[in-house]
Amino acid sequence: MKRLEDKVVIITGATGGIGRAAVELFINEGANVVMVDLNEDALIEVSNKINSNKLSYFQGDVSILADNKRAVELAIERHGGLDVFIANAGVAGDVQPITEYDEETFDKVMAVNAKGPFLGLKAAIPHMSERGGGSFVVTSSVAGVTGASLLSPYVMSKHAVVGLIKSAAKECADMNIRVNSVNPSPVETNMMRVLEDGMNELNEEDNPKTQIEQTIPLKRYAEPIEIANLLLFLSGDESKFITGSVHMIDGGFTA
């Protein structure tokens, strides 16, 4: 028996490194998946690569309530319901001191990283409740439990996610809806390349990736599939007594 046989899953940020890994893994584990992303070309590319009748996509913006509702409606129309929502979409923002940080970029980081999961919950809760429960998992970060110089808006947004999942877990428990977060250290994705480039502009003498890896006891970045495996665990029945929890997957970074 596959671990998500016939479950219906929404995955936002579906064309990024973690998102793609999760989509492929969840399809292989029997799920019906609705991918959500802003980049339609990338959505088509992933769809063509996987080539499964269990896969659908929706081009949408997670910071807009109507798009979250439409994604949920699409899951119901095409696959009959909604069991799991993976709020994975995220942006890094800039690498800048607070005094020089652009306000428009700040607003975008907060809108995608913090408001996005809130709106996802707002759209998903009524349908999960009608179905008898479900699992809602947000991709946060080690930045959700620690600080990081020159990344204040990103860190702020990821701390907000931790507050959201803890509050929502208590609010949704009577509906049998579990709410958790996954908090990775740096992962081998394009987002980290953006952050590394930003760090490089401020300090050209040292290799940013090497510097970061030295702060991780296991001395490497995570692979996207390693994060996807934890998302899978939190989505299925093996974790049915876990809610309101922050799950570090960080190679020992926060130990």
Residue 45, H or E segment: helix 40-50
On whether the CB atoms of residues 75 and 58 are closer than 8 A, the answer is: no
* Catalytic residue list contains 221: no
Amino acid at site 50: I
Q: Which of 57, 101, 154, 221 is catalytic?
A: 154
Closest to 161 in 3D by CA, of 88, 94, 75, 225:
88
- The Cα-based distances of 231 to 7, 180, 182, 183 in angstroms read 14, 10, 7, 10
Tokens found for residue 50 = 């996987």
Q: What angle do CA 215, 220, 223 make, to 5 degrees?
A: 130
Instruction: List the strands of the sheet with 246-249, edge to edge.
Output: 55-59, 32-37, 8-12, 84-87, 134-139, 177-184, 246-249
8 A C-beta contact, residue 6 and residue 29: no
- Please state, in angstroms and rounded to a whole number, the distance separating the CA atoms of residues 37 and 32: 17
**Residues labelled catalytic:** 154
